Homo-oligomer: A and B are copies of this chain.
Amino acid sequence: MSASEDFLKVARAAKEAATELAPLPRAPKDAALRAIADALVARSAEIIEANARDVVKARENGTSEYMIDRLSLTAGRVEVIAEAVRQIADLPDPVGEVVRGSTLPNGLELRQLRVPLGVVGIIYEGRPNVTVDAAALCLKSGNATLLRGSSSAYESNTVLVRVMQEALAGTAVPAGAVQLVPGQTRDSAKELMRARGLVDVLIPRGGASLISSVVQESTVPVIETGTGNCHVYVDAEADLDLAVEILLNAKAQRPSVCNAAETLLVHAAVADAFVPRALAALAGAGVTVHGDARIAAYGEAVVPAEEEDFRAEYLSLDIAAAVVDSLEDAVRHIREYGSAHTEAIVTRSVTAARRFVALVDSAAVAVNASTRFTDGGEFGFGAEIGISTQKLHARGPMGLPELTSTKWVYTGEGHLRTSEGTVIPSCGGASALD
């Protein structure tokens, strides 16, 4: 499939805008973000009207009321979206930060500077607030955005992008820095995935199937985000009161998010003391336990776990549970079935905590804390574009610095590299320095 003219037009516009946007300092970017926030509020009637058309269509398609609620915009919700943009304007600018630097032995001044990535593609599902949030985070970090939202929010997204572009027209940031991929078909998503050379990175935000299809089909480099099969491991040395609290919080405080726990692993040494308490507490919170045979022995309400339960990201009031014979068995289970998002250990033992942290290969490891803290806001990033579960470029919550690359700059006074070392001809004739 070759890209359509419509797609190439917006992708090239984004690339051109990225070139103009990249060298801008903080002040004009912040001013542009505030202009966007003001325009969203000023034009919220127009935005809500377009959104209403999406909602009507969703109702016709038999969409659930839960999803309709996620899709719907009100004046209050537009205000919240605008306020988030103002908060992004208040964050420090990652661009231009000197990441590393030194004066080399030959006198060259070497600096590694943070620079924007260029054009960031976002493929996402669900709520139209992502449209504004992603565009604002990219703009703040000096990147142009190519947005490809859910077709169910196409009318809303079209107006939101138009409002942002028109707000930018009065600022130093080129209006082309925020672009919506035209069309609502599957082809338009594929065009974005194949736009190597025009798009520098693609970030899918959504469910596991969206992410896996982007990873499979994209020739543009992808940052995988957000699938969370998080584990709580209750160690032989655990404080069992704490373990119950952490388990309940990790599972039930907000079950629909990626850092909620989906699997409980209990060391056999504390199973007799812990599992009955855990089952009672989980039942009290309305959680269904899908347990292996050793868990099932402690309660009649336990649903027998199939192997796929241990791979599941339920995002609901369900949890898989198993008894393990050692910390190493817990780690093996996590490696085998987990999604490398966040795993928690509850233990009083420094040795067990050290060992769990060393052996678990996930984006985040929590010691005596709920998995729910793996979050850009909790980590103090101020904003988050997603939680990376891959190992390249960014891992864990991604803030503004994760939307940047770097550039090496070295400054000399005529430094030449020779087989005998550096020579600087201007220093009173050719003088070898090293």
Contact = CB atoms under 8 A, between A and B. Distances in A.
A307 interface: no
Interface in A363-391: 363-370, 372-374, 378-380, 390-391
Q: Which one of A223, A241, A390, A393 has the highest number of Cβ atoms from chain B below 10 Å of its Cβ?
A: A393
Contacts of A241: 425-426
A108 B373 contact: yes
A1 interface: no
A184 interface: no
A428 to B, nearest CB: 13
A151 interface: no
A349 interface: no
Contacts of A415: 368-370, 373
Contacts of A112: 396
B253 A414 contact: no
Contacts of A414: 239, 242, 245-246, 368-369
Interface string A85-108: 000000000000000001011001
A407 B110 CA distance: 28
A115 B242 contact: no
Interface residues on A, range: 35 or more
B364 A410 contact: yes
A118 B392 CA distance: 11
Contacts of A393: 392-393
Given A370-B417, A380-B102, A411 B353 contact: yes
A433 interface: no
A374 B416 contact: no
Interface string A201-237: 1000000000000011001011100000000000000
A380 B414 CA distance: 19
B249 A408 contact: no
A412 interface: yes
B412 A366 contact: yes
A359 interface: yes
A410 B245 contact: no
Q: Which one of A201, A216, A379, A410 has the highest number of Cβ atoms from chain B below 10 Å of its Cβ?
A: A410
A17 interface: no
A362 interface: yes
Nearest to A390: B221
Given A249-B418, A335-B19, A410 B369 contact: yes
Nearest to A111: B357
A5 interface: no
Interface in A1-32: 19, 22-23
A180 interface: no
Nearest to A24: B358
Interface in A390-434: 390-393, 395-397, 405-418, 425-426
Contacts of A425: 241-242, 245
A112 B416 CA distance: 38
A172 B406 CA distance: 36
A364 B409 contact: yes
Given A216-B219, A392-B393, A406-B395, A379 B104 contact: yes
Contact of A357 (B222, B368, B372, B409): B409
9 contacts: A19-B335, A108-B378, A241-B425, A361-B407, A368-B412, A368-B415, A369-B416, A395-B405, A395-B407
Given A23-B359, A369-B412, 4 more contacts: A242-B426, A245-B425, A365-B408, A392-B392
